Amino acid sequence: MLKISNGLFWSRSLKKFQLDRNDPAYKKEREVGKTISHFILVVVPPFFIGFLLLIIWKFLIC
């Protein structure tokens, strides 16, 4: 989702998002979003996130 939104990740309406997509005032937000997406998708493998979710789910149910 962060790659699709070009790093913009704060909640906003669709119309506001389209206006802010290329606004230079949101450059820092785009940089942070791209850094987070790189960390989550490249550094931390997605299967590890799924494994953690399964462990948490097991402890919450039992």
Q: Per-residue pLDDT tens for 8-60?
A: 655 677 777 777 777 888 888 888 888 888 888 788 888 888 899 999 999 99
Question: Long-range contacts of range 25-30, CB-CB < 8 Å, 24 or more positions apart?
Answer: 30/6
Ranges of each domain in the chain: 14-61
Question: Would you say the pTM of this structure is higher than 0.75?
Answer: no
Tally of CA atoms within 13 A in the half-sphere of 32 that contains its CB: 7
